[in-house]
Amino acid sequence: MKHRHSLPANRNMMLRFARQFVLMAAGILLAANVLAQNGKTSDDGKMREASTPLSHDLSGVWMQYPQGDVPGTPGMNTVNERFRPPLTPWGQARFDASRPLVGPRAIPGEENSSSLKCDPDGPPKVLNHPNPFEIVQIPGRMFMFFEEQHIWRTIWADGRELPKDPDPSYLGYAVGKWEGDSFVVETIGFNDSQWVDAYGNPRSEQTRLTERYRRLNHDTLELQVTIDDPKSYTKAWISPPKLHKLEPGWEIAEWFCVVDEDKAYDQVVRKPAGVAPASKSK
Amino acid sequence: MQKRMRNQLKYSHFEVRFSAVAFARVSACAVLAASTFFAGILSAQGGQPSVTAKPEPGIPAAIATPPHDLSGVWMQYPDGDVPGVPGMNAVDDRTRPPLTPWGKARFDAARPLVGPRAVPGQENNPALRCDPDGPPKLLNLPNPFEIVQIPGRVLMFFELGHIWREIWTDGRPLPKEPDPTYLGYSVGKWDGDTFVVETVGFNDKLWDDSYGNPRSDATHLTERYRRVNHDTLELQIIIDDPKAYTKPWISPPKLHKLEPDWEIAEWFCVPDEDNAYDEVVRKPAGVAPGHK
């Protein structure tokens, strides 16, 4: 695999790799999943052995490990559906109206994921995709650059408070600060035009998202996501930590969602819900 | 004064048209800053920047200019060189060289939203589909951008379309055979006080400006940034696109004002939201100021 990653200048390859990742990872997943189920915390435990303080430098290109906690959807479980609390009536109505592209609820021809229209993605869904992101830290701010849709996001780290009455937006308004070894990002001000994952779980404008980033070692970033959305869920949705691998030779490629171009892509990769791995298992 | 007022009014009108969404979303602080900016134009116009970009006499350099530092949020001066379309001339239509036959065919097929060639109901600007914008068109639009410098890279963040772009400054050469993209592949280096950005690897899906001038995949774009003083950034654009134009298109330098209190707001182009926006603001080509 290493040689495949050592071509940073070849953006097209990077792009292709990203796009094919779901399919590729699906292949190795069946084996990896078995191991992951048994040894889920062992890597984590090893990394915590060092008692020295962890780095406060999160810079770099990070790629999800294909842990595959959800069968058939490797690496897409930073928001882990298995830990989802019960839905509120509002949340249930939204959930029932959603027609995802993947998973057991996918119905070919009825998909209504907003990504089909190239609507902008936002957190936490954008953290769920099996595509790399880059973190850049400058004084007072952290940037995140997601390959998927070429999205960028600002996390203010200059000590400012969250706004009292933010305008609803796709990305929300994010502030972050260090709590020990964890960089804790709090985001509010979301609109309700997005889902929190690819399975149609709703995101209301009351969502308060917490992301806890920890650099366990030089090559490993841990991310734990908590969704507190009382309009959609009866209690906070706490997903288990998820690991990301540093990819020093990678550069974030230009991957815009373009409506015309995406029609072809949808037919091949994104839209064939009926043949998605997850639906095979049902 | 009368001319200044006219520019001011046009600019405000234009600003409302193109930035309504953004400014509705921007924080109260930024709105305040914006109004301060507009109010400040009248007093600052003593040194009204012109197309020839000789800002030094009129714009006081009260604060020392940091060397080789372009960081900050920058906003075009509304100098309005093109009648009715102030602030959209970083790529200046008036200095465009003759088109090649290929370029002419593309130009004739373009149906812009603004300018004298706008025909209501026939607009085919890719922006109507929310296709991503790229340079140099992105630099032409009257919306702020932010520059952030980090080791080995300069990052540019454009409010319009929430686009970001990276310019490699780690000494790497331009790629020999880049894949065609909306943003292209950019490298930059300092040439004295000027930061020179070279970009290749464009696709031909975008225009160079809002008037339908074509951008082919043979385009070699040069941007020359110079911080004239603490508050003023000069940008000169040279488009070398032998497939579309018979010689390089050299636009005169254009000035930008530092806006220390502004933050780049979230302004995505969203097809659903934009349908309504188009009808009200973007699409009625017949009533665009340039058409009058």
Using H for helix, E for strand and C for coil, what is the string for chain B?
A: CHHHHHHHHHHHHHHHHHHHHHHHHCCHHHHHHHHHHHHHHHHHHHHCCCCCCCCCCCCCCCCCCCCCCCCEEEEECCCCCCCCCCCCCCCCHHHCCCECHHHHHHHHHCCCCCCCCCCCCCCCCHHHHCCCCCCCHHHHCCCCEEEEEECCEEEEEECHHHEEEEEECCCCCCCCCCCCECCCEEEEEEECCEEEEEEECECCCCECCCCCCECCCCCEEEEEEEEEECCEEEEEEEEECCCCECCCEECCCEEEEECCCCCCCCCCCCHHHHHHHHHHHHCCHHHCCCCC
Least confident of A48-52, A179-183, B67-71, B200-204: A48-52
Q: Which residue of B has its CA nearest to A256?
A: B132
Residue A12 DSSP SS3: helix
Query: Closest to B268 (Cβ–Cβ): which among A15, A120, A258?
Result: A120
Chain B residues with CB-CB distance to A136 below 8 A: 150, 155
Mean predicted lDDT score pLDDT of chain A? 79
Report, as an integer, the average pLDDT of A94-109: 89
CA-wise closest residue to B179 among A153, A252, A10, A271:
A10
DSSP states of A153-186: EEEE-SSPPPPSSPPPBSS-EEEEEEETTEEEEE
Mutate to test the interface with A, among B159, B268, B273, B274 (most CBs of A within 10 A): B268
Residue A115 has a pLDDT of 78
**Residue A256 in contact with residue A150, Cβ under 8 Å?**
yes
**Residue A206 in contact with residue A212, Cβ under 8 Å?**
no
The residue with tokens 């319009």 is B160
> pLDDT tens-digit profile of B41-55?
333 333 333 333 444
Chain A residues with CB-CB distance to B146 below 8 A: none
d(CA B93, CA B221): 16
**Residue A66 in contact with residue A244, Cβ under 8 Å?**
no
Chain A residues with CB-CB distance to B181 below 8 A: 11, 254
- Cα of B52 to nearest chain A Cα, Å: 35
> pLDDT tens-digit profile of A15-46?
444 444 433 343 333 333 333 333 333 344 44
Chain B residues bordering chain A (beta-carbon distance below 8 Å): 24-25, 27, 129-132, 148, 150, 155, 157, 162-164, 175, 178-179, 181-183, 185, 264, 266, 268, 270-272
**Residue B169 in contact with residue B154, Cβ under 8 Å?**
yes
d(CA B249, CA A210): 49
Residue B115 has a pLDDT of 84
Chain B residues with CB-CB distance to A140 below 8 A: none
Residue B283 has a pLDDT of 54
At residue A57, does pLDDT exceed 80? yes
- If one counts every other C-beta atom within 10 angstroms of the C-beta of residue A260, the result is 11
User: Quick check: A11 and B181 CB within 8 A?
Assistant: yes
**Residue A210 in contact with residue A28, Cβ under 8 Å?**
no
User: Quick check: A259 and B268 CB within 8 A?
Assistant: no
The residue with tokens 């060289």 is B97
Report CA B152 to chain centroid distance, whole Å: 24
Residue B56 has a pLDDT of 45
Q: Where are the beta strands (DSSP E) in A192-280?
A: 208-217, 220-228, 237-238, 242-246
CA-wise closest residue to A131 among A142, A115, A111, A154:
A115
Which bin fits A172, alpha (ψ -120 to 50), beta or left (φ > 0)?
left
Query: Closest to B129 (Cβ–Cβ): which among A119, A138, A259?
Result: A259
The residue with tokens 């920047």 is B49
Chain B residues with CB-CB distance to A152 below 8 A: 157, 162, 164
> Does the beta carbon of A160 lie under 8 angstroms from any beta carbon of chain B?
no
Alpha helices in chain A (DSSP H): 2-5, 11-38, 42-47, 89-97, 125-128, 259-265, 277-280
How far, in Å, are A187, B105, B141, B220 from residue B122 at the CA level? 42, 17, 21, 30
- If one counts every other C-beta atom within 10 angstroms of the C-beta of residue A160, the result is 10
- Cα of A12 to nearest chain B Cα, Å: 6
> Does the beta carbon of A263 lie under 8 angstroms from any beta carbon of chain B?
no
> Which 8-state DSSP code applies to residue A68?
-
User: Quick check: B272 and A117 CB within 8 A?
Assistant: yes
**Residue B209 in contact with residue B134, Cβ under 8 Å?**
no
Chain A residues with CB-CB distance to B271 below 8 A: 117-119, 259
Query: Model ipTM?
Result: 0.77
> pLDDT tens-digit profile of A133-157?
999 999 999 999 999 999 999 999 9
- pLDDT values of chain B reduced to their tens digit, one per residue, 292 residues: 333 332 332 333 333 333 333 333 333 333 333 333 333 333 333 333 333 344 444 444 457 777 899 999 999 887 654 444 444 578 988 899 999 999 999 999 999 888 888 888 888 888 777 889 999 999 988 889 999 999 999 999 999 999 999 999 999 999 999 999 999 999 999 999 999 999 999 999 999 998 999 999 999 999 999 999 999 999 999 999 999 999 999 998 888 889 999 999 999 988 766 665 555 555 544 333 333 2
Residue B142 has a pLDDT of 81
Q: Which residue of B has its CA nearest to A121?
A: B268
Q: What is the separation, in whole angstroms, between the first and last Cα of chain B?
A: 22
- Cα of B86 to nearest chain A Cα, Å: 29
Residue with more model confidence, A42 or A267? A267
Query: Closest to A258 (Cβ–Cβ): which among B131, B266, B268?
Result: B131
> pLDDT tens-digit profile of A102-128?
888 888 888 888 878 888 999 999 998
Residue A226 has a pLDDT of 98
Kindly report the backbone phi and psi dihedral angles of residue B206, in degrees, each rounded to the nearest multiple of 5, phi listed first: -110, 165
> Which 8-state DSSP code applies to residue A81?
G
d(CA A197, CA A272): 18
Tokens (6 digits) for B34: 């914006």
Helix H or strand E encompassing A142: strand A141-146
> pLDDT tens-digit profile of B93-143?
889 999 999 999 999 999 988 888 888 888 888 877 788 999 999 998 888
Residue A264 has a pLDDT of 61
- Cα of B25 to nearest chain A Cα, Å: 6
Chain A residues with CB-CB distance to B131 below 8 A: 256, 258-260
Chain A residues with CB-CB distance to B182 below 8 A: 254, 256
> Does the beta carbon of A150 lie under 8 angstroms from any beta carbon of chain B?
yes
Report, as an integer, the average pLDDT of A183-195: 97
Residue B141 has a pLDDT of 82
At residue A13, does pLDDT exceed 80? no
Q: What is the separation, in whole angstroms, between the first and last Cα of chain A?
A: 32
Residue A139 burial by CB count (10 A; 0-12/13-18/19+): exposed, middle or buried? exposed
pTM: 0.77
